[in-house]
A and B are shown apart, each in its own frame.
Chain A
Amino acid sequence: AQSVAQPEDQVNVAEGNPLTVKCTYSVSGNPYLFWYVQYPNRGLQFLLKYITGDNLVKGSYGFEAEFNKSQTSFHLKKPSALVSDSALYFCAVRANTGTASKLTFGTGTRLQVTL
């Protein structure tokens, strides 16, 4: 069975500082990894994904994530946080099986960026 762990319920960071939202995963074989963001009263929005190739993936709004196979991690990062980045962030994993399979989401991490 595949699973995702987001160990922090909430991350607090000051505007202008770098941010990291942590994610580790468990899956049989090679993973497809995703980050989504959810703003209040909205659906989830896709940020970025890792499929294969370069371990550093760049996505929307200046976010990036680094795939680390040995640590089974896919942490989300941004060099300089904005107050508008405050939202709920979800990491998700799907097994690379070549067939339709479901996406498993983590429990979410709330990012709070303050002035």
Chain B
Amino acid sequence: DAGVIQSPRHEVTEMGQEVTLRCKLISGHNSLFWYRQTMMRGLELLIYFNNNVPIDDSGMPEDRFSAKMPNASFSTLKIQPSEPRDSAVYFCASSPTSGGHYNEQFFGPGTRLTVL
């Protein structure tokens, strides 16, 4: 298995531009998590889905951020318009939930976003 796939790995954009981050889950996994990591705030959960349904989006910073799961294996995180304070590493993680909710999450390699 290729693991969780994220694209792009690096993104440099200018303030005000739209940014779309992509994530492909591990086959058979049905929970999807988006995290943001910065030096100042550490690792923050932004939103998570179970079976394509958003369960908790309380970590989404503001309306500029939106996330979707158009199908069971793919998700996007969009920032529109982007701001310099959005610069961070964004991770996607997936896990199976069958059998219980104690399964570990599998993280992708992350997307390093720089907003100038």
Residues of A within 8 A of B (CB): 32, 34, 36, 41-46, 49, 51, 90, 94, 96-105, 107-108
CA distance A45 to B105 in the complex (A): 9
B42 engages A46 (CB within 8 Å)? no
CB pair B97 A100 closer than 8 Å: yes
A45 to B93, CA, bound (A): 10
- In whole angstroms, how far apart are the Cα atoms of A99 and B42 in the complex? 26
Give the residues in chain B near A97, CB-CB below 8 Å: 101
**Interface residues in B, total, Cβ within 8 A:** 22
Contact B101 A98, beta carbon cutoff 8 Å: yes
- Alpha-carbon gap, A108 to B91, bound state (A): 16
The reply to whether A101 and B105 contact each other, CB–CB distance below 8 Å, is: no
Q: Taking chain A's interface residues, is the majority helix, strand, or loop, or is none over half, making it mixed?
A: loop
Interface residues of B in 4-31 (CB under 8 A from A): 4, 31
Asked whether any CB of chain A lies closer than 8 Å to the CB of B63, the reply is: no
A42: chain B residues within 8 A (beta carbon): 109-110
Task: Decide if B101 touches A108 in the complex (CB within 8 Å).
Answer: no
CB pair B43 A90 closer than 8 Å: yes
Known: A43-B107, A96-B101, A100-B101. 13 other contacts (CB 8 A): A34-B104, A41-B110, A43-B93, A44-B43, A97-B101, A98-B101, A99-B101, A100-B97, A102-B45, A103-B33, A104-B45, A105-B45, A108-B43
A41 to chain B, nearest CB (A): 8
Give bound CA distance, A34 to B103, whole Å.
10
Most buried by A among B33, B104, B105, B106: B104
A49 x B102 contact (CB < 8 A): yes
The 7 closest A-B pairs by CB, nearest first: A43-B107, A46-B104, A44-B107, A32-B102, A100-B50, A107-B42, A51-B102
In the bound complex, residues from chain B placing their C-beta under 8 Å from that of A90 are 43
Which of B42, B55, B105, B106 is within 8 Å of A103, CB to CB?
B105
